[in-house]
Amino acid sequence: MRILITGANGFIAREIIARLVTAGHEIIACVHNKLLENIPHTRVFKADFTKATMPEFWLQQLKDVDAVINCVGVFQTTKEKTMWNIHYEAPKALFEACVKQEIKKIIQISALGVDKVDVPYAKSKLAIDNYLQTLDIDSTIVRPGLVYGKGSYGGSSLFRGLAGFPFILPMPGRAEQLQQPIHADDLTLIIEKALTLPGKQILCAVGEEKISVKNLLIKLRTWLGFKKTWLFVVPDIFIHLGAKIGNYIPNSPISETGIKMITVDNTANEIELKNLKNSTHINPRSFTSGLNGMVSSVQDRWHARLYFLRPLLRISIAFIWIFSGIVSLLPISSPISFDLMTQAKIPLTFQPLALYSFSMIDILLGLATLFNYRLLAVGFLQCIFILMYTAIISFSLPIYWLNPFAPIAKNIPLFVAILIMMALESER
């Protein structure tokens, strides 16, 4: 079959593509801004789901396509309209184009629990699920529980990060909420089977085992190879405060959407599980069995330990740029800055312009880092400015290398920290 897959750079989508390519299918991959690499038999095109909201756009991409798998999803945005465009308006246009083009099958990757939680992520996903069922086309809506596997993203990465926390094992509240995780291999097998299912179905894709968040974290920590440690219950007030702050920080480890979805049981009932097995003839493995079938590597442990350190690294780098820019502009600090520029033989007429210009540049670089805006480009500029500052001071004021507070020598670890931040920039 020739299959169009949207959101093709996502964690679940890439697992699906790998299975379907191995099975001999031809893939047309729709991505937002990054091209797939090293995947044979795949054609790639770009589409912005915040704008691709007209069927005409999709009609030209659906020529000779047999099936469509929509994997596009965004867990948290600062604008609710963006969420609805991505989850509802663009897929609606895609699905209408599929009907016009007489596509044989649509598979919609939704999420378990979208009918239980009142957040924009869930409401927009549920709305497009419901709309798809009204169309005259064969369709299967797949609602996975927590997906885990060799890699991780989103919720599975958060759980790994919590499980790998040093010294303590943080518990979100009492952590008695139930999850029903499914292994990525079982999920992709279900989706492969769904390609040939006639009519309309909703499949709750879950594993056999219902497990509390507390026991899930304990099992993950053991699997990662970390020692047992104290269980620490994080009070709800700190969880919700962190989530509110996280709403406004791109790629934050936690957000209100994630917290609200984790505070309810996210499981399928017996009827839904029986329907999954009868429709696909697949018995998804339990979480315990799935973990036992995987070997954790040093990369898994790095990822777990860096999960919360990564945003802290970015925030701390942002802080130093913003702080240095603001401090340089304060009346108490300006005379010191002008004195340094005089020692560096910068003409008096240019000193105010230099001070205010470089201070604003520092602040802007810091803000861009804080809000994760074009982080690779911003990090590159930061490295250039650090090298430039260091070279100017080393040439004009070399004595500062011997200053007991090491103001110049500290540029070396900051430079390396920025390189590490840039290396960790990609989430997928």
The separation between the first and the last C-alpha atoms of the chain, rounded to the nearest angstrom, is 27
Q: Cα–Cα distances in Å, from 321 out to 44, 313, 400?
A: 39, 13, 20
In a domain, 18, yes or no: yes
Residue 175: pLDDT band (50, 70, 90) is confident
Is residue 366 scored above 90 in pLDDT? yes
- At 203-242, the pLDDT tens digits run 999 999 999 999 999 999 999 999 999 999 888 788 778 7
Assigned domain for 83 exists: yes
CB atoms within 10 A of CB 206: 26
Report the pLDDT value the prediction gives residue 298, as an integer from 0 to 100: 93
Q: Are 73 and 32 spatial neighbours (Cβ–Cβ below 8 Å)?
A: no
pLDDT tens-place string over residues 160-174: 999 999 999 998 878
pLDDT average, residue stretch 260-287: 90
Provide the pLDDT confidence category of residue 253 given band limits of 50, 70 and 90. low
CATH number at 46 reads 3.40.50.720
Say what the pLDDT of residue 395 is.
86
147 is a domain residue: no
Asked if residue 196 belongs to a domain, the reply is: no
CB 253 within 8 A of CB 161: yes
Check: CB of residue 31 under 8 Å from CB of residue 46. yes
The lowest-confidence range among 5-19, 115-129, 335-349 is 335-349
Please give the biggest Cα pair distance in the chain. 82
Separate counts of helices (H) and strands (E) for the chain: 18, 13
**What backbone phi and psi angles, to 5 degrees, belong to 249?**
-115, 115
- At residue 363, the pLDDT reads 96
Domain boundary residue among 87, 111, 137? 137
Q: Is 211 helix (H, G, I), strand (E, B) or coil?
A: strand
pLDDT at 257 over 80: no
What is the crossing angle of helices 120-134 and 90-100, to 10°? 10
Residue in 360, 304, 282, 171 with CA at minimum distance from that of residue 352: 360
Last residue of a domain, one of 91, 117, 137: 137
Residue 368 lies inside a defined structural domain of this protein: yes
pLDDT of residue 109: 96
pTM: 0.85
d(CA 427, CA 14): 13
Residue 59 covered by a domain? yes
Q: Tell me: the pLDDT tens digits for 78-131?
A: 677 888 999 999 999 999 999 999 999 999 999 998 888 888 888 999 999 999
Q: Which of 137, 166, 188 is the C-terminal boundary of a domain?
A: 137
Give the SS3 label for residue 423. helix
Helix (H) or strand (E) holding 1: none
Report how far residue 234's alpha carbon sits from residue 159's, in angstroms, rounded to the nearest whole number. 14
Domain holding 360, by residue range, is 312-423
User: CA 375 to CA 250: how far, in whole Å?
Assistant: 11
Q: How many domains does one find in the chain?
A: 2
* Average pLDDT, rounded, for the chain: 89
In a 13 Å sphere around the CA of 112, the CA atoms on its Cβ side amount to 25
Q: Which range is most confident: 32-46, 311-325, 345-359, 385-399? A: 311-325
Asked if pLDDT for residue 40 goes beyond 70, the answer is no
Q: Which residue has the higher pLDDT, 237 or 41?
A: 237
- Provide the CA 374 distance to its chain's centre, in angstroms: 15
- pLDDT value of residue 5: 95
- What's the CA gap between 301 and 54, in Å, rounded? 44
Q: What pLDDT score does 34 carry?
A: 67
Q: What is the mean predicted confidence (pLDDT) over 48-63?
A: 90
Query: Residue 427 pLDDT > 70, yes or no?
Result: no
Q: At what angle do helices 309-329 and 298-306 cross, to 10 degrees?
A: 40
Residue positions counted in the chain: 428
Q: Which residues pair with 30 in a beta bridge?
A: 6, 45
**pLDDT tens-place string over residues 124-161:** 999 999 999 999 999 999 999 999 998 877 778 889 99
